[in-house]
Chain A
Amino acid sequence: MKKLINEPGDVVDEMLDGMVMAHPEYVRRLEGTNVLTRADAPVDGKVGIVSGGGSGHEPTHAGYLGAGMLDGAAAGEVFTSPTADQLQGMIDACDGGEGVLCVVKNYEGDVMNFETAIEFAEMEGDTEIDHVVVDDDVAVEDSLYTSGRRGVCGTILVHKVAGAAAARGDDLAEVKRLAEKTVERVATMGTALTSCTTPEKGEPTFDLDDDEIELGIGIHGEPGVERVDVMSADAITDHLTERVLDDLALEEGAEVMTIVNGMGATPLMELYVVNRRLQELLSEREIEVWDGWISDYMTSLDMAGCSITVLELDAEFKELLGAPADTPALTVRE
């Protein structure tokens, strides 16, 4: 394992310090915790939007702290959900008097710790707290036989929509409605060309031959739902896109926004190749693309691969997605 780390157990702490030093105008660290908040949190008179999850997905989550997106971001250990007491501290610190919405990815640890934190926070204060669970990963079926679909890169769009709604003054119920509407209309599927290596384990999480790829991965280095022979960029893009579009059941003339997300070790060059094919496929289906983002938005450490996210739009979404956002990882200008 060759990594730019000191002690494996110190990675998260040192990363957070480094982030605060890099972006003091955006973020600060709650003392004694692994929680970062907006530098000006809590923002009076605004619903607080908070999220969190394991580390190793940078720039998720703290990269989206700032005006128009998140007020708080809790960092767990690598690929491990933050603890309930840290989440409770974050909720308290981001309450500007109008309540707090927690955006939770559908992983059991995240869901359980957020639920516990909300119980604790409600016992101790009069803050109104609600949460939405994002489950955009179409690779796994939503059925009795799994823990439900995972929350992956579509979560960024939930942050953007909810953050913009809160910024314009919507109340908690309305912010939650818009966040849930986003969850309903967003779909993602990803692929891994290589495993990732967690600092603690020090070797690849799963073994993958040079001529194999994993389809339908999550974001924690867990194997995907299917292992297949390596394919061309276009063939992979076709497969991922078809699964995503089938799930959304879009009709001709639909309008969408897309994300081609890198998993951490895939160059932009390759993401642009994927994006090229994605846009071709949407055009063939007469689906209009309002905007397309290409970058590392929700990564899996040093995994090579990508995911494709599609959100079906309407006028309400376009206003919120186009609203200004000013964060370390994402800027939308007026």
Chain B
Amino acid sequence: MNEDTQREALMAALEAVAERVEAEKGHLTDLDSAIGDADHGANLDRGFQAALEGADPEAAPDEFVKGVGMALVSKVGGASGPLYGGSLAHASTAFEGGIDAESSVAFAESYLEKTKDRGGASVGDKTMVDALTPAVHTYKRAIEEDEVAPLTALSRAVDAAERGVEFTTAIRANKGRASYLGWRSVGHPDPGATSTLYMLEELLGVASEYLEGETDAELRVEGEEGDEGEDGEGAK
């Protein structure tokens, strides 16, 4: 896609994610009240509404994503602000040269790395990392080794994130507020992993619209949708 289309797609992705977060606000807060402090949905919604208000449709892709990240940092609070917003702002530099398959992989890896670094969480701790890690690894592998189109790769990444959320239901929390419950946290899906999945699903939806009808080969050359997907986690 050319840069105009990239900007349009990013704005559409932000709108889709913000709308989904608003729709799931109550559900995310319910998940959080079972094992946390009942604020996840309300906090994310506040952040994305602010990101929408402040978004500049004319900004270059990296600046646009950074702007969304900083809006989340300054509005979400709690751990989710630095985790979602900080990671998004950090990873936005991957898009300095625009969005293509390669930069989307770099974005995804940078986003994951910052999230793990900031939160100190690993796979198995029952956090958003349990959805994010398989999604990012699946995306990277699909693009770089399986050489499928970004849209196909993103679709696989969403499936991987979904399995990651299921995995969090079964395990005991070692990080985050839920860790204070010990074994009592078992049986509840992690709210952060769940919201991460929702964001990826919305990115996939927007990517599908913009890449509809393109073949795998064409997509691989253009590559932009993939990074939307990644961006989605942060950008959502």
List residues of chain A with CB under 8 Å of any chain B CB.
Answer: 9, 54, 76-86, 107-109, 112-113, 116, 139-140, 144-147, 150, 198, 200-201, 205-206, 218, 220-223, 225
Contacts of A113 in B (CB 8 A): 77-78, 81-82
B5 contacts A by Cβ under 8 Å: no
What are 19 A-B contacts defined by CB distance under 8 Å? Answer: A76-B77, A78-B39, A80-B43, A80-B78, A81-B77, A83-B73, A84-B81, A108-B177, A109-B80, A113-B78, A116-B82, A145-B174, A147-B176, A200-B29, A220-B37, A220-B177, A222-B35, A223-B181, A225-B184
Distance of A84 Cα from B118 Cα, bound (Å): 13
B141 within 8 A of A: no
Q: What is B's interface to A at a CB cutoff of 8 Å?
A: 29, 33-39, 42-43, 46, 73-83, 86, 118-119, 172, 174-177, 179-182, 184
Among residues of B, the one whose C-beta sits closest to the C-beta of A85 is B74
Query: Taking chain A's interface residues, is the majority helix, strand, or loop, or is none over half, making it mixed?
Result: loop
Which residues on the A side are within 8 Å of B86 (C-beta)?
116
Task: Note all chain A residues with C-beta closer than 8 A to B77.
Answer: 54, 76-77, 80-83, 109, 113
| Given pairs A80-B39, A84-B81, A147-B176, 7 additional interface contacts (CB within 8 A) | A9-B46, A84-B82, A113-B81, A139-B180, A144-B174, A205-B37, A225-B184
Shortest CB-to-CB span from B3 to chain A, Å, is 30
- CB-CB under 8 A from A80, the residues of chain B are 37, 39, 43, 77-78
CB distance from A236 to the nearest CB of B (A): 19
CA distance A260 to B180 in the complex (A): 22
| Shortest distance from the beta carbon of B91 to any chain A beta carbon, whole Å | 16
The answer for the CA separation of A78 and B39 in the assembled complex, in Å, is 8
B182 proximity list for chain A (CB < 8 A): 145-146, 225
- B37 and A221 within 8 A (CB): yes
B82 touches A112 (CB 8 A): yes
B-chain residues with CB within 8 Å of residue A220 when the two chains form the complex: 36-37, 177
Instruction: Name A140's closest neighbour in chain B (CB-CB).
Output: B180
CB-defined contacts of A79 to chain B, threshold 8 Å: 37-39
- Contact yes or no, B118 A112, CB < 8 A: yes
| Residues B81 and A83 in contact, CB atoms below 8 Å apart | yes
A83–B79 Cα gap in the complex (Å)? 9
Contacts A82-B77, A109-B78; is A200 near B118 (CB within 8 Å)? Answer: no
- Which 6 pairs of residues, A with B, have the shortest CB-CB distance? A109-B78, A220-B37, A109-B79, A146-B179, A112-B82, A80-B78
Shortest CB-to-CB span from A128 to chain B, Å, is: 23
B201 CB to nearest chain A CB (Å): 24
A145: shortest Cβ distance to chain B, in Å?
5
Chain B, Cβ-Cβ closest to A82: B77
Question: Which residues of B have CB within 8 Å of A222?
Answer: 35-37, 177, 180-181
